[in-house]
Structure formats: C-alpha cells, structure tokens
Chains A and B, each alone.
Chain A
Amino acid sequence: MAPLLTVEGLRTTYTVGGREVTVVNGVDFQMERGKTFAIAGESGCGKTTLGLSIAQLLPSNARIRSGKIVFDGVDLLQMREDDFRRRIRWKKISMVFQGSMSAFNPVIRVGDQIVEAITHHETASKSAARERASKLFSAVGISENRLYSYPHELSGGMRERAMIAMALASSPDLVIADEPTTGLDVLVQAQIIGLLRKLRDDLGRSMILISHDLSVVAELADECAIMYAGRIVEMGSVRRIFGNPLHPYTMKLLGAFPGARLEKRITLVGIPGEPPSFLNPITGCRFNPRCEHAMEVCRREEPRLVEFERGHFVSCFWREETSGDNTR
C-alpha cells in the first residue's frame, strides 16, 4: 500500500531579526496508514516546525524553501492555499496543539467551538454538528453536558480531551499531535495515552506524535524519528530504536532518561555541552561538539541518513565505520 505521507528534502526557514535561519534542514520520512509516527527531540530541534510545515500552519515569518510533502498522492506544497484550506485542513489533516488552554477561545463554550469548526469546514447543519460534538465528547470520555462549559471550567485533562475531540471532528486521515501530554499530571497523562492508543487500535487513526518525552514515545508510537538541530539523526521502529539505538545522540538521550527501569536504581548520565542554537549552526555533524566518538570527518562533513539495517536509518560516520570493522 502506498504510504499515507511522504516528506522529501523538506527545508523550512524562519526570518529572525533580518536573518534567515534554517530550522528544518532536509528532512525525509514516510509514514503508513493506521500507524503512529513519532517525531522526538529536545526543544529547538525543529520538531514542532516540521509538524506545522505538514499542517501548513507556519507563522508568517516562516517559509518552506524546498522539498515535497506528498499526502495521499498529492504534493501539498504544489496546492493553492485556499484549495488546501477547503479540501485538506481539518477534513484530512488536523492538529492537536501544545497547551490546550491557549488553543481554545476562552469566551466561547467548548461545544460551540467544536460546532463552529464542523460547520465552517463542512456543509452540516448546526443540530447535526451538535449531535456529532456530543458523540465525540463521549468517545473521548467527557460527559456531554461539558459541551456547555467554558474552557477555564475544564480541568487540564478534560481540555486536552476536548482538543482531541475537536481534532477528530471531521474524521481526518491524519492527526498531528504536538506534545499532547506535556504539562499534565502523570495520572491524567496515562489517561490521555490510553485514549490516543484507543484511537489507533480501535479506529485505525494515523497520527504524528511530536514529543520531547521518550517514555511517551515508547508508549504510543510504532515508528519514530529522532531529530537533532533540524535533521533526523535516527529513524526506525520504536523497538529497534529503544532496543538497539545506533546514533550516539539517541544512545546518550536514552541514558539520560529516568523512566527506564524503576525497579533498579540507575545512574543517569547527562550529555555534555549545550543543545545547539539555530543562530550559530555547526559545521559537519551537528552533534559533533557533544559526541564522544567524534572523528575528523564529523567536524568537516555532514553525514547522510542511510539505511543501516532493514528499516532502521541512522546518520553517523562513526556508526558506519565501526560497523564495517565488525562485519569484516
């Protein structure tokens, strides 16, 4: 089956203080229908910008400089804006934003906001839309009378559920969820994780999950791309990436995470140095100043993302070289 989404050579830039900085720098990936594809990385790695590029919701100072975003056989970047808005946005691709408090209009009841979203994008009557909204609410586990609540009257978990309900309103083929559980308490987060998993397993939804939290990625995703400084450094199934990480960054990041095994006390190991800034790009491999395996070539050239083993991609000179030694 053809992939649902193919991203090729995507490059997105922002203009900041008269300078153009590249935030997504040549990203390629594919995702299949009915799967959850995670884009993971630390703040400023470009994961949100990548999500916004796909949803065509970039702020005005951002531009897609090159690349293709092929969704269901159509290159979205070749589409006219009003065409995209009419045919794709909300109906085919919808987004759950980071920070559910600011994503809702505070002075309109949540039910009315969902009804408005439906009637704006589809030719549905108000009463049909309201009926659908109440079905959606029960599907995400909020009681229907909450449709009449204002956003501030809902708890953080309920607002997040309402956001998800709204994103599902027109049965989109792809939902992009940007940090859907960040800022929620653990027990509420576990409920939202359960809900998102149900959407995939029971309803067959395709989802892009954007998250800095690797333990949430391990819970929810089938496939995963690790981003660093605007590029994908490693990509593959979550089992491969968590079981046998190949890139030094992924290896280090997993070692810095407290979630691993709670039964045994482990020593967390941080990554030396500071996360990179887009304002001062690094030549060669972006990770080289923080990498214990960095070689001469890493400071000079940028590694490409190559298929290291079937379905497991990595961009690292050290990995390519050491694996050659092992097989010989």
Chain B
Amino acid sequence: MLEVTGLKKHFPLERSFLDRLRGKKEAGSVHAVDNVSFWVRRGEILGLVGESGSGKTTTARLITLLERPDSGSVQFEGKDIYGLSPDDLKNFRRHVQLVFQNPYDSLDPKFTIFESLEEPLLTHSVGRTKDERREMVHQTMKKVGVPMEALNLYPSKLSGGQRQRIALARAFALEPKLLIADEPVSMLDSSIRASILNMLLDLRAQGATSVILITHDIATARHVCDRICVMYMGEVVEFAMADELVTNPLHPYTHALLSATPRLDPDARVTVELTGEIGSAADPPAACRLHPRCPHAYERCRVEEPVLREILPGHYVACHRSEEVFFPKLTGT
C-alpha cells in the first residue's frame, strides 16, 4: 500500500562565520536519511525502531510531506506522493494521519476537545450538518474510551494519557488508511502506555488502517508490531517479521539492541556488544556505518557499503557477514 524506495534526505549545515571568512564553500550536511526502502501492507502495524538520530522521525516527515526528499520515491496506493495533483493531495492528507510524541503540544489549547475533534471533519467536509458531525465525534470518543464530559473541556484539564487518546481519536476520526504514530507513548506512565498501545491495536482491528509505529524501544515494537524495520544512522539495517527479527536477529546492530534491552527478570543481565557511541550524522563512517563499533567488522565493511538483501524469506539485512556470524547459531553447529 505504501512503498518507500531509496529515500534520501540530507540537511545542509550552515557555514560558520569563520568558515565564510576562510572562504570555505561547503559546510557539509547531516545525513538524516540515506537510501531508505521499506513497504507497508494494508492493515499491518510496522515498527520503525532506532536510537535517537537514526532518522526515523525524518522518515515519517518525508512520508507525510512535511519534508521533501533529495531523492527517492514514496508510492501511496500506486501514486508517487511527491507528484500528486492538488485534488489527490487533499485526498492523501485525509488518508494519511500523523500522531506526535508530545500530547501536551499537539492539541490546540484554545480549542475545546469537541472543537479539536470536529476540525478535521470540517476541513475534509465529512458530515454535512453539525448534528452529523457531533454524532461522529461521539462515536470516536466511545472508541478511545474518554468520557463524554471531556468534550466541553480544554486540553489543559486532561491528563497526558487522556490527551494522547484524544490525539489518536482525532487522527482516527477520518478513518485514515495510514496512521503514523511517532513515539506515541514515550511521555506517558507505564500503566497508561499499555492502554494506548492496545487502543492502537483495537482501532486497527476495527478498520483497514495500517500503522507505522515509530519507537526507540524494541520491546514495545515487539509486542505491538507485525513487522519491524531497524534503522541506524539514517539507514535501514534489518527488516523482518517481528517474531523473526527478535528471535533470530541477523544484523549485529539489532543483536546489540536486543542484548542491551533490560528485561523484567532480576536474573537477566544486559550486555554491551558495541564499542563507543553513535557518531555524528554530519560525518558518518564510510561503507558500513556500524563498522567502527562492530565486533564482527573486517576489511570489506570498511570499503564496501552493504546493501539490504533478502537472506531468508521476508528477512532483509544489510550486512556483509550475517551468514558467517549468525548462521552457525541458527543451525546449532
């Protein structure tokens, strides 16, 4: 339904005053997203997982037309979204909705909850009369489990969890075909998080909405998503079914991410498999971006960039050494 191919976005850096005096022409650029490809099926939840600076939010902004890419294409239902006619564009905006991380900023403080929920209906001329729209808003409120009394309140009167429910309700009011949720629970308490994630699952089950869930937490993605796409420094390193990716990671970065994720078990121990820290995206390592930190890196990783390839059916990895490093474990020899 959505197909992202070779997406690339570099943000140019400002030249500093000194550099200008010295007559330096180029200041370089931040490689936010580099050659990213993945696709979303109808009705599935896809997890976009990565640390800060991995390019997951920029990818979301590119898909929702908040940014233009330097190159690459995004096809939504067979049409390139960067070349949509004005009519198609309006249609696209209706069917692709975005929910942000911070529920305190994403609702207009001067709108009551009812006004906030009615606005997208008005914008897209859904529901002809006020009563019709009121009925639709009531339906949405029921779906997300916020009491009707909240309709006449302003966002400041609601808790973070309730606001995030409203933000999701607003996005779902138009029954979009694709919802992109950027860290929708990372600012909420853990007792509330599970309810919001389950709401996402319920809303998906009720319609044919596909969801892209952007999160830094592979544990959350694991329990909520059908497939997971792992990003590192603006590139996709591994892409597979959630079950497969977690039980059988084939990229050293995914493996390290899983080993570093704390479990709820007092006897389990996190381990650190990568050395150092994520570098600067303005000057990413050549060839494989993980090679300076990777325990398995060898000469080839320093000179040749690995491409995303299908190692097992439906399991894509960008690593020269996946088979060598991980297959012995697979077969148990």
Contacts and interface: CB of A to CB of B under 8 A. Distances in A.
Contacts of B52: 185
Contacts of B218: 186, 262
Interface residues of B, number: 47
Interface stretch (B83-91, B98-106, B133-141, B270-278): B270-278
B260 A219 contact: no
A254 interface: yes
Contacts of B259: 190
B260 A186 contact: yes
Interface residues of A, number: 47
Contacts of B192: 270-271, 274-275
A242 B195 contact: no
A256 B243 contact: no
B324 interface: no
Contacts, number: 143
B272 A268 contact: no
A200 to B, nearest CB: 13
Interface in B237-276: 242-243, 246-247, 256-272, 274
Contacts of B260: 186-187, 189-190
A263 B51 contact: no
Interface stretch (B66-74, B122-130, B219-227, B295-303): B219-227
Interface in B40-64: 51-52
Interface in B215-235: 216-220, 222-224
Contact of A259 (B198, B264, B274, B277): B264
Contacts of A262: 218-219, 222, 246, 258, 261, 263
Contacts of B271: 190
Interface stretch (A69-77, A210-218, A306-314): A210-218
Interface string A251-267: 01111111111110111
A103 B277 CA distance: 22
B190 interface: yes
Given A194-B272, A257-B264, A272 B195 contact: yes
A267 B194 CA distance: 9
A113 B290 CA distance: 34
B191 A253 contact: yes
Contacts of B189: 42-43, 212, 275
Contacts of B210: none
A258 B223 contact: yes
Nearest to A269: B194
Interface of B: 51-52, 159, 161-162, 189-198, 216-220, 222-224, 242-243, 246-247, 256-272, 274, 277-278
Interface of A: 42-43, 155, 157-158, 185-191, 193-194, 212-216, 218-219, 238-239, 242-243, 252-263, 265-272, 274-275
